[in-house]
Amino acid sequence: MVQRLKELRKKKNISQQQLADIIGVSQQSVNKYENHNVEPDISLLIELADFFGTSVDYLIGHSDINRKIEPVSPYDLNTDEAALIDTYRNLSAEEKESIHLIIKNYTAKK
């Protein structure tokens, strides 16, 4: 179930024992989560997601978005504005930064 736990742990360069100490379980439990299809309870999944800065959906393989899901405030958007938002969300981090700089440049002139 926790398909990406091992990958995330290795990216942080921590051992199973270190992760176990952080989340308050045994090293054997972490091993079972990574290698034997043992499922942690939802509160532990949330704790793991918080520790790794990702979402439970990413941990269990339900999403490929490797970041916390940010709260979205509802706005009344027209069709053009909604299309811009959708396009923006599909940009890379570098592309988004370019857009931020362009907007900053335009608004600084006012």
Tens-digit pLDDT profile for residues 35-55: 998 999 999 999 999 999 999
CA–CA distances in Å: residue 37 to residues 45, 81, 90:
14, 44, 33
Instruction: Clarify whether residues 50 and 89 are in a common domain.
Output: no
Cα separation of 8 and 79, whole Å? Answer: 38
Tens-digit pLDDT profile for residues 63-101: 888 888 777 777 788 889 888 998 999 999 899 999 999
**Structural domain that includes position 90:** 79-108
**Does residue 65 lie within any of the structural domains?**
no
Cα separation of 103 and 47, whole Å? Answer: 37
Q: In the chain, what percentage of residues exceed pLDDT 70?
A: 98
105 pLDDT more than 80: yes
**Does residue 9 lie within any of the structural domains?**
yes
Structural domains of the chain, count = 2
Q: Which comes out higher in pLDDT, residue 26 or 2?
A: 26
E-strand stretches of the chain: none
